[in-house]
Amino acid sequence: MVVSWAPQQEVLGHQAVGGFWTHNGWNSTLESICEGVPMICRPHFADQMINARYVQEVWKVGFELEGKLERGKIERSVRKLFCHEEGGEMRWRAKDLEDKATECMKKGGSSETRINLLVNFMMSLPCSI
């Protein structure tokens, strides 16, 4: 089945999803992290390259698939994610990041606290209209 649009975060949150082949746009990267899904990164332009590098080098919840796409290379990358110890470690770290993101976004979490601090700071500035 081919559809023109799908609720990506809902799809990523389904228990049957074990990995995500992504271009690493910021929204896709965040949705994958928020659902605890490791990534096979295939960036194309702009911020996607930086996001993919961060996924691979800093968070270590995925890896970049570089160069020409060939059947064997794709198969090896999928096997790396699902069958090798390295992929298991990526899945563990992805779930850990999911837990941290959930903690930040809950009521009273650091996201709410920081946005409130920003709003209060902005409201304290003198108005010169």
User: Concatenated DSSP letters for 17-64?
Assistant: ---EEE---HHHHHHHHHTT--EEE---STHHHHHHHHIIIII-SEEE
Give mean pLDDT in consecutive 10-residue pieces for the chain, a chain of 129 residues. Answer: 87 95 97 97 96 98 95 96 96 97 94 96 88
Structural domains of the chain in order of their starting residue, each with its CATH number: 18-118 (3.40.50.2000)
pLDDT of residue 78: 97
pTM of this structure: 0.84
